[in-house]
Chains A and B, each alone.
Chain A
Amino acid sequence: MSTVLDQRRATPAPLQRAADTGRSGLLAVLLADARLADRRLHVLNLVAAVLGLVVGGAVLLWNGADVLTAPALALLALCVAAPAVAKRRVGEALDRSTLTIALLSAVAAVAALLLPVWLYGADVNGIVHRSAITGPMLLLLSAFGASHGLRGVLGDGPSARDFATYPVLALPVVLAVAAYGFILARVVVSGVGSFDVSLLTTAWTQQLVETSGAAKFTYTVGLLNNILGTLELIALTSLFAILPGVGAGVFMSEYPGLMAKVIDLSTTMLRAVSVFVIGATAFGVVGATSGLAAGTPISDLVRGVYTDVNGLVHPGTGSFITASAFLALLVIPIIAKLTEEGLRSIPRDLREGSVALGTSDAYGLRRLLLPWAGLNIITGLLIGAAEASGSLAVIMFIAGPGQDGVAPTNSVTSLDYALFATQYGLKPYVDTMADYRFATALLLLLLTLGLTSVAVVVRRRVARRYRGSLTAG
């Protein structure tokens, strides 16, 4: 081994190869230390690719950058090809992937120059359409170019190859994070601007006021009931979903057979059902009780009650209980699947250990299996809660502004509803709340963020407690 290395050191391979191929003169001198020359060319390649990434990003954000697309692609094609050509001249094999990237970049440069103009014209509209194609194209090719340049700069070993996949993997992530960042920034900036502490402490209500003989509505604005309503929906939905969810999961994992198959199929199908269908069904169920007067138990439970400005009690449009029951239909499959997965992940020897101690299945389930799957169940609950707080479609048809309060039998309301009603101009709500749209969005965002943070913390704690050393050891 060492002798081989020594020999290599004695005669630099590129020089040897240059001599072997019989090249001489200036080129041979220039490429005497071909590794260095290569490396410089690779740096050039990397720079061109990074430039391509910058231009690509700019093209997506700013119409003025459109003219730079074609030159950037052309430069990329040249710079990617350069090291490959240099290598070829000293007799190394042609790197096909390099050539592919260079060729694609060249074609893309021509396409960016000609096709979109031909397709869309040269006006602003054309530029917008064009950049939607050329921007991502440039970004993608630049990412591959950067990957290639990085590989060359680092010396093309196995680790260099691993490291060089970084740009290709990072690009979509960066794009997604940028998109999220954009949305978040908009919500936070506008939300903070329109935020008012009184939104948290007052509920939206309307009053009938008589002024000089004419009755007129006045409004108090606020989001208190929407916030409380969202929390209540989350709590009630979790309550309704946990037992059926865990039960279905246990069935699917522990009691294989026809029943388990039926449950498995139903939960899968339930997940595939559109939320709008569930929402419409909720609306239908509420409608089915329309003949009943307020005060009847079924009417109060399903429709809820609402008190009008004159103090008269009417059946509502749908109670928190109804809304939660239908939201639970979304959450049950999530909990069921996660419970099943959790139970299936228990090592076989732990199950056998429990059985061998002369314990019943029910005892093992209670003491060993469910605590083990607890992590999954909690995750399911939290994902479910986030789902419940964000599934407007389910309650859209039956929700109201929540002016009567948030008892389980009051008409359902949530932050989602406030967003929906202002966005779609439901009167009179939009007239009073339009200014607080972003504040509402911000609150919803904070709520989801809070739930997710709790999920992360809980998961970590439970994971450490139940599985930590088991997976480590």
Chain B
Amino acid sequence: MRTDGLRVAYGSKEVLRGIDLPIAKGKVTALVGPSGCGKTTLLRTLNRLTDLTSTCSVSGIVTIDGEDCMAMDPVLLRRRVGMVFQKPNVFPMSIRENVLYGVKARGNGKTEYAEILESSLRKAVIWDEVKDRLDESALALSGGQQQRVCIARTLATSPEVVLMDEPGASLDPRSTQLLEESILAIRGDFTVVIVTHDIPQAHRVSDFLAFLYDGRVVEFGETRQLFAEPREHATKEYLEGGLVTVPPVGNVAAAAVPVSA
């Protein structure tokens, strides 16, 4: 996937001011930046959840495998670009039905259900915890378990891209650890874009890192490199302390980094 000159506004308030971002296939791309910098909006634009907000207007180009996302049927786009939310949002139904919710919407053959169920719960590192209680309500699970069921639910529909909006924000440290295990386990099979406020987490799980500030990508590159030698002062400040005292100026081109999008 990639975005070119992506601009998003809620009403008259511009939230994204021209985002050019390549998202590498099969890799984990982390979006970091202070609150309100547009990370979540960027994520929600990638699978057009922004369509649900009537005041939201989008311009610019978003493509997946070269196809224009904005011209696609949004339902079909979301089948290719799944999403895990900040708060676990399991449906009020059994674990099995939760995981198969998206699968059944596509009318796949019934025979595959058991297989899809197990493999996606395994990828989300929760199979062992729930394999004996698949028909119990997902609401009975702990928050961390619910979040991993949400990941399994997204993986079950075998999307190409998985968007994660601060998936560990409401979880305890142990659940966060399992969550990260899950992200590392699916890397390669899925393209992952993760928004996080947890900078060490971004360091641990991501291959590429984009630092956003005030609706612009300040710096983008390989995670290792950005942590080792950031080009921008603001990036360095943020990655080291989570604070930006000297705001960056302008939009920095990301094209210099070779990525197969």
Contacts and interface: CB of A to CB of B under 8 A. Distances in A.
A356 B105 contact: no
Given A357-B153, A358-B76, A359-B75, A367 B52 contact: no
B139 A473 contact: yes
Interface residues of B, number: 32
A349 B92 contact: no
Contact of A357 (B78, B87, B93): B78
Nearest to A351: B52
A287 interface: no
Contacts of A359: 75, 101-102, 105
Interface in B36-74: 47, 49, 52
Interface string A362-398: 0100011001100000000000000000000000000
A136 to B, nearest CB: 47
A355 B78 contact: yes
B154 interface: yes
Contacts of B92: 350, 371-372, 465-467, 470
A350 B89 contact: yes
A347 to B, nearest CB: 7
A353 interface: yes
Contacts of A465: 92, 137
Contact of A349 (B85, B140, B157): B85
Contact of B139 (A353, A372, A470): A470
Interface in A336-361: 347, 349-360
A469 interface: yes
Nearest to B163: A356
Chain A interface: which size bin?
20 to 34
Contacts of A91: none
B226 to A, nearest CB: 29
Instruction: Summarize B's interface: helix, strand, loop or mixed.
Output: helix
A121 interface: no
B195 interface: no
Nearest to A349: B89
A468 interface: yes
Contact of B91 (A354, A360, A468): A354
Contacts of A350: 89, 91-92
Contact of B82 (A351, A356, A470): A356
A358 B85 contact: no
Contacts of B79: 358
A387 to B, nearest CB: 29
B49 A367 contact: no
Given A355-B49, A357-B78, A367 B83 contact: no
B205 interface: no
A357 B49 CA distance: 11
24 contacts: A349-B85, A350-B92, A352-B49, A352-B89, A353-B89, A353-B150, A354-B101, A355-B49, A355-B52, A355-B78, A356-B83, A356-B154, A357-B105, A357-B157, A358-B77, A358-B78, A358-B106, A359-B75, A359-B102, A363-B105, A465-B137, A467-B92, A468-B137, A470-B139
Interface of B: 47, 49, 52, 75-80, 82-83, 85, 87, 89-93, 101-102, 104-106, 137, 139-140, 143, 150, 153-154, 157, 159
